[in-house]
Amino acid sequence: MITTSGLTKRYGRILALDAVDLQVRDGDRYGLLGPNGSGKTTLLRLVLGLLYATAGQIELMGRPVPRHLAQVLSDVGALVEGPSAYGHLPGRANLRLLDAAGPNGARRTRRDRIEEALERVGLAGVDSRPVKAYSLGMRQRLGLAAALLRQPRLLVLDEPTNGLDPQGIREIRELLHDLNQGGTTVFLCSHLLGEVEQLCTRVGVLDQGRLVLQESVDTLRAATGRVLLRTPDADRAAVLLDGRIDARTGDLLVVRHPDPAQLNASLVRAGLRINEIGPERRSLESAVLEVIGAGSDRIERTAPA
């Protein structure tokens, strides 16, 4: 869907991107992570043909861009660098202008397309006040509605939940998930690890312009070989599992064991009550922080609600 090879961008003496080989596959929900200034926005803008590369190649849906950008752009929806809109016009009027300028044509069905897009982003009931009176979250939703009007095969989003409250973040996450189930590949950048962990199937990590990690979230969140066990009979469990317990906090035990199901069966046979049991997984946070080292304190770690 998106392939870059040796993609490099310089702004004068600043090397914003350094020989990036990125691969976003058909059907991915791909999250590009990185500290401030690591090159995320630059990469998104290059992919969309909004900037010229200093060196390297980009292919969008198999076509080299920017050379063949016109052939693929109608299949791409984008929300990059904040939603742009005519501030003095209401949201619907903005979408009408956009739709008229786009490739979808059919005036007859324009109203339905616009209402559907507004509904999908939670703006169905929006009144006729001008966009300049919208909150940042409402503008962000309007920008997404604009991106959706094209029913894109690929959706490119720069920090899509910027300015949204926790409820809004959840709604946008569900929307992107649904769109992806319907066949849209999602490529977004974010500095919110928790957001990417909850939404994305694959991640790329940029650090000072270099792509230092590209992997599926499942692989990164591999099991550690330990089991997390919550039991009201923690004292008895601690005796039974003597020598295998790495940590204990109240009724929660961390047990060195490769197979939670087997451990569960043996504890139940011994008459213990189990509240929760499952494999301990490496967090995306630890996988990411391992590769970005010094810049790590600039990635937001808290998970959105």
The reply on whether position 11 binds ligand ATP by CB under 6 A is yes
41 binds ligand ATP (CB under 6 A): yes
Minimum distance between the CB of residue 296 and ligand ATP, rounded to whole angstroms? 14
In this chain, which stretch among 38-46, 136-144, 179-187, 237-245 interacts with ligand ATP, using CB under 6 A? 38-46
Q: For residue 8, give both structure tokens.
A: 């490099």
Touching ligand ATP, residues 163-202 (CB under 6 A): 191
Q: How far apart are CA 261 and CA 249, in angstroms?
A: 22
Looking at beta carbons only, is 10 or 120 nearer to ligand ATP? Answer: 10
# binding residues, ligand ATP (CB under 6 A):
12
- Select 81 or 235, whichever has its Cβ closest to ligand ATP: 81
The residue behind tokens 């591999």 is 222
- Distance separating alpha carbons of residues 277 and 254, to the nearest angstrom: 10
Of 36-44, 134-142, 173-181, 224-232, the window that binds ligand ATP (rule: CB under 6 A) is: 36-44
Residue from 7, 24, 38, 292 binding ligand ATP (CB under 6 A):
38
Provide Rg for the chain, Cα atoms: 23
Query: Can you tell me the distance from the alpha carbon of 144 to that of 94, in angstroms, rounded to the nearest whole number?
Result: 12
CB of 15 to ligand ATP, least distance (A): 8
Give all strands (DSSP E) within the chain, no chain letters.
2-11, 14-24, 29-33, 55-60, 63-65, 76-79, 154-158, 185-190, 202-207, 210-216, 223-230, 245-249, 252-256, 276-281
CB-CB contact of 298 with 190 (8 Å)? no
Choose between 2 and 123: whose C-beta lies nearer to ligand ATP. 2
Task: Assess 14 for contact with ligand ATP (CB under 6 A).
Answer: yes
**Residues near ligand ATP (CB under 6 A):** 11, 14, 16, 34, 36-42, 191
